[in-house]
Every structure is written in C-alpha cells, then in structure tokens.
Structure 1
C-alpha cells in the first residue's frame, strides 16, 4: 500500500530518520491526506505500531525543513515455509504528502527501509503495490519467484518481494499478513482501482 511519490525532479533533500512519538500526529495527517480514505490507513499504522510481533516495527519519516513529509512502515509478518515459519516484513504503508510527491521522497524512504531491514537480518520484504513503481526500487513479482499470496484478490504483479542478503533458497511458501491488515481490510484490492 503506497500513495504517490516521485519520479525525479525538484531539489528536495529530505532527511530520513526513525519516527519519534512526537511525529505520530503528523504521520496520521500525512496518511489521511496521501490516501484520501479517511482514518483507515492512519488507524492501521497505529495498530501496527502497538501490536505485539516477532519483529519490532521499523517506522521511518522523511522531513523537509523539519516538517514530516513522508512515512514508511515495515511491520512483522510471516512466511509459511515448509520447514518452518520465517519472520519477514511487510512494507506498508508508504505515503508522501501530496504537495511533496514526485520528488524522490518515497524512493529514499524505500531505500532506507530495505537497508535497515537487511541490517537487521530480515530475509524478505513483501508488499502490494504498483510493479512499475516498486520494480525500480528493488522489488519483483513474488508469484513469479515462487511465493504464494495471502489472498486471491491481487491483480497480476501487485504482490511483490525484495530478497535481502539473509534470504536462503528454502525460504518459499505463503506470505501471511499480521492480523491488523485483515482487521482494517488492507489486504488485496476490493475494487477496480486496486491499491497502489
């Protein structure tokens, strides 16, 4: 799940850092504006931050002149592999304030998130989103790589994965979202305009 971003252009030099408690309200507002669907995505972020999980969430913000203009969250999910369950991350949501989109901020957030996940020894990061956007940022079609999606509602290509340095060949199976994604109905597109 992502909302808007970049291509190139602009001279923005955002600072990417760990989210702090004092950023929470700005992050809620950011996702409400970026996704335009009320409280659903901000409530998902709150639930993912607060939920008990096998991996601590990784929450990053991008700031410009001290203002929070972008946010990405990696949260614990599981891969149901044949030998055993594997702790993995889901990258969702990724949001950038509308007036700061198309300036590379989302790209920076994704790059920092993947680097941090890799440094923590997490082998895989999954998401649902635009293959055109995420395909240029380290992700590939997860189905074509042998992973099974958590729902049948995915349109072709939106179920994606980034393999990180601790990935091993036996790590294949079904991706399982944490309960919060299901509780807030944030898995798979339920309309013609599937989430991006």
Structure 2
C-alpha cells in the first residue's frame, strides 16, 4: 500500500471511495470533499490517498478551521472525512491514513485537530473527548462523545473555546447528526426545516 498526497487525477477515484464507503450519505460526503479540496494548499490542509494495486482505496482529509479562543482565533484542523472502500476494510488502511496525516500536521506546528467520530476507533490515535478539556462543539447535534480532539506540542493552555467549522461543512449540512423524522414532522410535504 502506498500513502501519498491526493493528485488532481485522483479526483474521480476519491469521489468513488466516498460514494461507496458512505452508502446513502455518500453523495453529501463526496460533494463536501469536492468543495473542501479547493481549501487545501501546500501550507494548509491535507488530502491523502491510499493506493493499492494502482487503485485508490482510501482517502482522508484534514482542513483548516478556527478555534474561537478567549485571546484570539486559532488556526486548527478538522479530520473529515475518512473513507475506505468496503472490500478493503479491516486491513489497517484507515489507520495508516490517519497516522500519516497526524504526523505531517504535527510537523507543521498545528496545535489541535478535531473530529466527529467513534471514540472507540479514534482513541487509538490519541483523540479524546473535547468537552472535558475546555473545548465547545460547534453544534448541539454533535454527540458529546463524538466531539474529539488531539493536542500537539504547539497547543498552549489558553487555547480553549469553541470550534468553528469551515463554511463548506455548513453549506453541505455535514455537521452533527440530523433527525430526518423530526424534519418530516415539521414539514411533511417538503422534508426540510425552515
């Protein structure tokens, strides 16, 4: 398996990874990735792929967001999304992508990386629940246990506050969990909330 930065020629394959990995939610995630891609620069953000047998089988993205700390805004990163094609699950591909990305971000002096995810999976990389460390989640729809953070050496004790997701996460409604039944009850004809 080869881990490397995503290339422009990988775009269709990366989209396919997310469509296959996320099922019914795949289109939202694939569209989010397409939008976030434009925010990744050589100095800021990270988009990595795992290639096996010449095929892109996994993808992870780290993008810049902000921490609204008492002293000032702090540049932080968000790990989202992470996906591996289903038939390649349980081979350590996702773990390898996350570890590689975290190593690169630590070298870039990023102080904090946040995510929404399964604590049982992400704790192996050093992620811990953010609420108990003075961090506030950007949406009440994020379960407390899912709101996680990893602190790097550049983190200073005053760097606490509210995570502010980059605008594409809001535009694609990719923050927290939605209750489709609640939306249907509010607007049974359209299925959307206003």
Q: Please indicate the TM-score interval, normalised by the length of the shorter structure.
A: 0.7 to 0.9
Seen in structure 2, the aligned counterparts of structure 1 residues 32 and 79 have a Cα distance that, compared at 3 Å, is: same
* Alpha-carbon distance between aligned partners in 1 of 2:82 and 2:14, rounded to the nearest angstrom: 11
More helix per residue? 2
**TM-score, normalised on structure 1?**
0.87
Which structure's relative contact order is higher, taking Cα pairs within 8 Å and 6+ residues apart? 1
Seen in structure 2, the aligned counterparts of structure 1 residues 107 and 38 have a Cα distance that, compared at 3 Å, is: closer
* Map of 1:155 onto structure 2: 143
Find the structure with the greater CA-based Rg. Answer: 2
The correspondence for 2:45, drawn from 49, 54, 57, is 57
Q: Pairwise mapping of residues 1-196 of structure 1 onto structure 2 (< 5 A)?
A: 14-36=1-23, 37-51=25-39, 56-191=44-179
* Alpha-carbon distance between aligned partners in 2 of 1:81 and 1:157, rounded to the nearest angstrom: 21
Segments of 5+ residues of structure 2 without an aligned counterpart are 181-194
* 1:148 and 1:174 in contact (8 A); partners too: yes
Cα distance, 1:50 vs structure 2: 1.4
* Alpha-carbon distance between aligned partners in 2 of 1:65 and 1:166, rounded to the nearest angstrom: 37
The two structures, once aligned, show a CA RMSD in angstroms of 1.5
What whole-Å deviation, never above 9, does each CA across 1:166-186 have from its counterpart, x for those lacking one? 111111000000110001011
